[in-house]
């Protein structure tokens, strides 16, 4: 049974009903509708910490989804799972793929910056000042772009950029 049919809380049930109604009235292909069901089930599994199940659903959604904009969110969510699992290199790959399809995705830019900042902190702790500066510079570039796209978001990043003079 699809996860969307197992939801037991009010918000999930409401979202599922509304999404099902929209799927019926919007002019979309059968594959697009099926891709959306997998994506929705992936989001639900991800929210519950069921990352393996979420990944399976996202991969199925990617197999069916052809729209680059919609695919960007699938790639982004896969990146989130890899970030949560501490697999930063894999996460970066998926965030970059999301940006290839949707360059105006500030969340992906922010998460890339967070990973570079984290790696910069690690390099600094290891006493590798040149690498830390390079990584902090990369973090700054991505945060600047994320802030340009979403100026009211990422206040911590804005403060970091300002206090570090980047």
Per-residue model confidence as pLDDT tens digits over 103-158: 999 999 999 999 999 999 999 999 999 999 999 999 999 999 999 999 999 999 99
Q: What percent of the chain has pLDDT over 70?
A: 83
Residue 23 clears pLDDT 60, i.e. is over it: no
Q: Kindly indicate the confidence band of residue 16, based on its pLDDT and cuts at 50, 70 and 90.
A: low
Query: Cα(141)–Cα(88) distance, rounded to whole angstroms?
Result: 18
Q: Kindly indicate the confidence band of residue 33, based on its pLDDT and cuts at 50, 70 and 90.
A: confident
Please give the C-alpha separations between residue 85 and each of 30, 72, 79, 82, 91, in angstroms, as whole numbers: 33, 20, 10, 5, 9
């Amino acid at each position: 049974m699809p996860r969307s049919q197992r939801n037991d809380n009010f918000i999930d049930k409401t979202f599922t009903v509304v999404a099902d109604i929209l799927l019926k009235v919007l002019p979309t292909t059968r594959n697009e509708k099926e891709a959306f069901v997998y994506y929705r089930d992936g989001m639900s599994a991800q929210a519950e910490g069921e990352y393996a199940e979420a990944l399976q659903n996202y991969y199925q959604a990617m197999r069916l989804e052809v729209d680059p904009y919609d695919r960007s969110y699938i790639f982004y969510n896969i990146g989130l799972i890899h970030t949560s699992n501490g697999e930063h290199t894999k996460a970066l790959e998926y965030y970059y793929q999301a940006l290839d399809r949707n360059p105006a995705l500030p969340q992906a830019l922010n998460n890339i910056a967070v990973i570079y900042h984290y790696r910069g902190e690690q390099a600094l702790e290891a006493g590798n000042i040149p690498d830390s500066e390079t990584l902090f510079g990369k973090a700054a570039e991505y945060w600047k772009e994320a802030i340009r796209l979403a100026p009211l978001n990422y206040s911590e990043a804005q403060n970091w950029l300002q206090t570090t003079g980047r």
